[in-house]
Structure 1
């Protein structure tokens, strides 16, 4: 394979000093997986070159990385992360490559540092369900999955497209399948953007289903349809508007509150105090997309300020760089963020486990 270079010819080390130039040689055990790792026409290696400013040359099952010491270390880590994904039977695409690079760049953070596999390679956090295995694609997702493992209450806060709801439903489905909890309860505020249930046609189920559709979609993506239908019929899986939570104690369950930015202060307090023995709660939302009437405080914004130092609660903050949808979504989020005042500061990987 012929060597390629990043933008502007051979990449320069980040410090700009020739003395910082180094090279790293990485060998992979499986030639077939190495070929998949490099990508068609070495496109995955080209992405690493472009984003990290290194020169990557592949020959056979080996890769030689040249550039600044820090960038070379990050490129090697990114390749290790992607190779582990392939050894576990998961394909990789452009989004996975970019996610691995972000993971490598953020590896100094202990919460974002992936765990070691038996052979010494690094692995991103993952969630295994009957239909698919979902792997973290960036440091924030990795921290989020690990937080759900160790904490009883997790806040996933950030813009659309970062995987907050999808990963929460995947994690809940995995707990149900393993028998770690007896029930899965999915909830959202049912009043959004000035619309009220009373003005919608149909019975109560028909009124609230449109609001809960994203939760249904994620659930069907994780579990076989017949399993979901049986769970909904038996009550093992419950999808309900937030108003239906009042007066209940939710024990031995995993409970997800989505679109939490549209809760009032009173609703959020009511929801959080439903937590019972043997349960986990996951709260997701974007404080920049509040549909409450003007002047009304978002229950999510208040909760993340009040509960930041409470033991047993972890807050994971996603940014526009963590968007895993179409790249244009990240640019849209950045444009809107630039035009609006910043919400209350929330630590990216804060809280106490």
Structure 2
């Protein structure tokens, strides 16, 4: 059994990472089969060493998104978890680098997955780009 203690910058950051009613922490616990204890601005993960390390990487990816003013929605958190599980959590920074437009409310329209980022690059590089894929993957959104 391994333990990892993560100290967050502030209570506000901790609230964002924990999620509403600690939903994000429960997602981490279920996905990585670990136990998380949250106190103040600290998170302590306990479990198998590989799983604890992956959960810590997922939290780091979430912190990267927060630093770049990207809200942590359930879909975003799940994506951070899947990237951390695959060892590609550093690629989260790529999602925050560019944006397409700004909405009427002032929020930037950004790719939410690495696949969407590749789609945007194809649009920028080619005069005509056909977006083909399942419904709900963000083709029209972008």
- Superposition TM-score, scaled by structure 1 size: 0.33
Give me the whole-angstrom Cα distance separating, in 2, the residues matched to 1:90 and 1:70: 27
Cα distance in 1 for partners of 2:70, 2:13 equals 11
Gaps of 5+ in 1: 1-20, 115-121, 168-353
Counterpart Cα distance in 1 of 2:82 and 2:131: 19
**What is residue 133 of structure 1 aligned with on the other side?**
108
> Equivalences for 1:36-185 in 2 at 5 Å?
36-108=16-88, 113-114=90-91, 123-126=93-96, 127-128=98-99, 129-131=101-103, 132-142=107-117, 144=118, 148=121, 152-153=125-126, 157-167=132-142
Show structure 2 runs of 5+ residues with no match. Answer: none
CA offsets per residue over residues 275-296 of structure 1, 9 Å max, x none?
Answer: xxxxxxxxxxxxxxxxxxxxxx
- Structure 1 residue 49 displacement after superposition: 0.9
State the distance in 2 between where 1:71 and 1:93 align. Answer: 22
Distance of 2:83 and 2:67 partners within structure 1: 18
Deviation at 1:29, TM superposition (A): 1.1
The 1-side partners of 2:53 and 2:116 are apart by: 21
Q: Report the CA distance shift for 1:89/1:113 in structure 2 as closer, same or farther (over 3 A).
A: closer
Q: Tell me the TM-score normalised to structure 2 length.
A: 0.74
Structure with the higher fraction of residues in helix conformation: 2
- Contact map agreement 2:95 2:113 (CA 8 A) in 1: no
Moved over 3 A (4+): 134-142, 153-158
Q: Report if aligned partners of 1:49, 1:56 keep a CA contact under 8 Å in 2.
A: yes
Report the RMSD for the aligned CA atoms in angstroms. Answer: 2.8
Partner Cα separation in structure 1 for residue 5 and residue 132 of structure 2: 39
Counterparts of 1:23 and 1:148 in 2: how far apart (Å)?
A: 40
How far apart, in 1, do the equivalents of 2:64 and 2:26 lie?
19
Q: Secondary structure at the match of 1:123?
A: helix
Which is greater in Rg? 1
Asked whether the equivalents of residues 102 and 138 of structure 1 are also in contact (C-alpha less than 8 Å), the reply is no
Q: Distance in 2 between matches of 1:73 and 1:138?
A: 22
CA distance, structure 1, for counterparts of residue 77 and residue 85 of structure 2: 12
Deviations 1:89-143 (A, max 9, x none): 33222222112112222335xxx741xxxxxxx624133323222444444345x
